[in-house]
Amino acid sequence: MSVTSSPEATAATDTSADAPVTTVATLEPVAEAQASAEAAHGDTHTTTAHAEEHASGGLPQFQTEHWAGQMVWLVIIFLVLFVLIAKVFAPRLRKVIDTRGATIAEDLANARAIRDEAEAQAKDAAAETAAAHVAARKLAADAKAKAAAEQAAAQAKEDARLNAVLAESEASIRAKRDEALSHVTEIATDTASALIEKLTGKAPTKTALTAALKKA
Amino acid sequence: MADPLHQFQIQKVVDLPVIDVAGVPVDLSITNSVLAMLIGVGAVIVFFSLTTARASIIPGRFQVMAEGLFGLIDDLAESIIGHDGRAFFPFVFTLFLFILSCNLVGMTTYFTATSQLAVTAMLAILTIGTVIVVGILRNGLGFFKLFCPSGVPLLILPILIPIEIISFLMRPITLTLRLFGNMVGGHIVMKVFAGFIVALASAGVAGYLGGFVSLTAVVALTALEFLVAYLQAFVFAVLACVYLNDVVNLHHH
């Protein structure tokens, strides 16, 4: 500690380009002083403060003889990196990112178009189904109506046939009854003539029988 | 015990000649600082070369990482600068990746290039230089309207203009010192606590507890430093965008 603060040491710390060994040597006592843990912080502080006092001491960064070389190299390295980024890396990355964006946008547009198409198709299918339903219902109703009409026609025909048969039968019965009734006088005449002939032994005349029957 | 400042010491790795540029000696030797930058930026270049060489629409894991970093800064530039943000994206992205990679190389304990004042100062100079060049190219002398906001009463202008000029001049200094201070401070604290572990543990059984506490602190600080490494790179990128926006959209002021 005392060594660092002494004027001799500071003079030695004011190094030039060809005396790097001196710098290390002067810094050595500081390091030793720091062996005690409590003193270490204070020492670092002293060294820094010391460096600020004498621009070229303490912190090695203030040794200006190394500045120019570092600066020149930095500019060279920086420019190399700059040119590579500007001409190679950035365009490549921008291209791939833009391509990705375009691809995603395109895929999305395609997907959207396909979805719209599918929706339209679904709508068409629904419309077709509805139309088919209507047609089927109409067909069923038609069939029903036709069947009913056919049945009604058949029924009417059958009714007509039966009515005709009935009328015919009634007519024939009436004719037969009339015919039978017309024979009644004849049978009665015959019967009466036979009865009289049996009783009297002499056949009555026709006129007498007719008159008698007419009285009866 | 190791000196916590020794980690910032510049050492030559490959000796190269010193050249004189306008009377200023420029030592082109590859130092540990330069090597750390080369390692960090080299890793960035390898990573982006591999991930973007066969970039596919359906990305792999590493491509997702690359696109994540790309998207982060791209969105940042567009949200702050607006439609013109794309033009400045390569610059901001380079800044971000450069600082992030150097910070992360620092976390692997090799060397933290961003803890060098020369490096952070040069980054700030590059940023402010770009801002000034872009401002003058786009606005001509209208660039100086930056120091004279419109819609301000005339009476206030004599006070406001010096304040604006000073705040503009402070920008490179704050950019430099923010990154520098964060990296230096974090790494010194980590080194100091790591030193405590050895110092206390070697003090005997009584020191074991203290050593263990220090060890816990180092683990926690390392996690924090990873956050700081990312955050400082991001903050630098955000500020670069903000400063560029000032000159790009000057007429909106």
Q: Tell me: the pLDDT tens digits for B215-229?
A: 999 999 999 999 999
pLDDT at B1 over 70: no
Q: Residue A97 corresponds to which tokens in the numbers above?
A: 């990112």
Three-state SS for B103-171 is: HHHHHCCCCCHHHCHHHHHHHHHHHHHHHHHHHHHHHHHHHHHHHCCCCCCCCCHHHHHHHHHHHHHHH
User: CA angle at residue A3 from B194 to B191, to 5 degrees?
Assistant: 10
Verify whether the Cβ–Cβ distance A47 to B5 is below 8 Å.
yes
For residue B1, being part of any structural domain is answered with no
In this prediction, residue B252 carries a pLDDT of 62
Contact A34 B1 (CB under 8 A): yes
pLDDT value, residue B149 = 78
Q: What is the pLDDT of residue B27?
A: 82
Tokens, residue A199 = 């009783």
At A152 the pLDDT is 95
Length of chain B: 253
Residues of B in contact with A74 (CB under 8 A): 37, 113, 118-119, 122-123
Asked if B52 lies within 8 A of A96 by C-beta distance, the reply is yes
ipTM of the complex: 0.90
In a mutagenesis test of the B interface, which of A18, A75, A81 is the best target, namely the one with the most B β-carbons within 10 Å?
A81
Residues of chain A positioned with their CB less than 8 A from the CB of B21: 68
Neighbours of A1 (CB within 10 A): 14
Gap between the Cα atoms of A84 and A91, Å rounded = 10
Q: Looking at chain B, which residue has its C-alpha nearest residue A79?
A: B94
Check if the beta carbon of residue A60 is closer than 8 Å to that of residue B9.
yes
**pLDDT score at A157:** 95
Find the range with the poorest average confidence among A112-121, B27-36, B100-109, B145-154: B145-154
pLDDT at A10 over 60: no
Chain B partners within 8 Å of A62 (Cβ): 117
Confidence at residue A67, expressed as pLDDT on a 0 to 100 scale: 84
Query: Is B203:B9 a contact under the CB 8 Å cutoff?
Result: no
CA distance B81 to B91: 13
Q: State the average pLDDT over residues A85-103.
A: 91
Question: Which domain, by its residues, includes B132?
Answer: 6-252
For the ranges B41-45, B188-192, B227-231, B247-251, which has the lowest average pLDDT?
A: B247-251
Residues on chain A touching B6 (C-beta within 8 angstroms): 24, 27, 31
Q: Which tops the pLDDT comparison, A138 or B151? A: A138
Are β-strands B30-31 and B24-27 bridged in parallel, bridged antiparallel, or unpaired?
unpaired
Contacts of A54 by beta carbon, 8 Å cutoff, 6+ apart: A10, A13, A14
User: Cα separation of A184 and A186, whole Å?
Assistant: 5
Give the nearest chain B residue to A86 (CA atoms): B90
Work out the pLDDT band at A216, boundaries 50, 70, 90: low
Whether B180 is covered by a domain: the verdict is yes
Per cent of chain A over pLDDT 90 is: 45
B7 burial type by CB count under 10 A (0-12 exposed, 13-18 middle, 19+ buried) = buried
Residue B92 φ then ψ, to 5°: -65, -40
Contact B176, A61 (CB under 8 A): no
pLDDT over 80 at A38, yes or no: no
Contact assignment for A40 to B210 by CB distance below 8 Å: no
> What distance lies between CA B92 and its chain's CA centroid?
11
Residue A20 pLDDT greater than 70, yes or no: no
Least confident of A11-20, A57-66, A170-179: A11-20
A122 pLDDT more than 90: yes
- A80 vs A54: which has the higher pLDDT: A80
CA distances from B209 to A38, A198, B67, B203 (A): 15, 175, 46, 11
CB contact under 8 A, B55 and A61: no
DSSP A86: I
| Chain position carrying tokens 């921008």 | A94
Q: How many domains does chain B have?
A: 1
Percent of chain B at pLDDT above 70? 98
Question: For residue B11, what is the nearest residue in chain A, using CA coordinates?
Answer: A20
Mean pLDDT along residues B12-22: 80
pLDDT over 80 at B198, yes or no = yes
Instruction: Give the whole-number percent of chain A exceeding pLDDT 70.
Output: 73
Q: Scanning every residue of chain B, which has its alpha carbon at the shortest distance from the alpha carbon of A17?
A: B27
Of A37-51, A88-102, A115-129, B14-28, least confident by mean pLDDT is A37-51
Check residues A93 and A7 and name the one with the higher pLDDT. A93
C-beta atoms surrounding B169 within 10 Å: 10
Quick check: B44 and B101 in contact, CB under 8 A? yes
B53 to chain A: closest CA residue: A92
Q: Is residue B233 part of a domain?
A: yes
Under an 8 A CB cutoff, do B94 and A103 touch? no
* Closest chain B residue by Cα to residue A51: B5
pTM attached to this predicted model:
0.69
Nearest to B4 among A17, A44, A94 (CB): A44
Mean residue pLDDT of chain B comes to 89
In chain A, what residues touch B38 (CB-CB under 8 Å)? 77
For residue A47, list chain B residues with Cβ-Cβ distance below 8 A.
5
Pairwise pLDDT comparison (A164 vs B196), residue with the higher score: A164
**Residue B207, in any domain of the structure:** yes
Residue B134 lies in a domain: yes
Domain assignment of residue B212, yes or no: yes
Q: pLDDT band at A42, cuts 50/70/90?
A: very low
- Assess whether pLDDT exceeds 80 at residue B162: yes
A130-177 tens-digit pLDDT = 999 999 999 999 999 999 999 999 999 999 999 999 999 999 999 999
Please check whether residue B211 lies inside any domain of the structure: yes
As a whole number of angstroms, the distance between CA A123 and CA A114 comes to 14
The answer to whether B32 and B107 are in contact (CB under 8 A) is: no
| Cβ separation A58–B33 shorter than 8 A | no
CB B122 to CB A74 under 8 A? yes
Query: pLDDT, tens digit, for every residue of B35-73?
Result: 999 999 999 999 999 988 887 888 888 899 999 999 999
Question: For position B2, what pLDDT does the model report?
Answer: 64
Q: How far is B199 from chain A (nearest CA, A)?
A: 6
- Going by pLDDT thresholds of 50, 70 and 90, the confidence category of residue B171 is very high
- Provide the mean pLDDT of chain A: 77
How high is the pLDDT of residue B245? 92
pLDDT value for B234: 96
Q: What are B18's strand-pairing partners?
A: B27
Distance from A12 to chain B by nearest Cα, in Å?
16
Flag if A70 and B33 touch (Cβ within 8 Å). Answer: yes
E-only strand ranges, A6-86: none
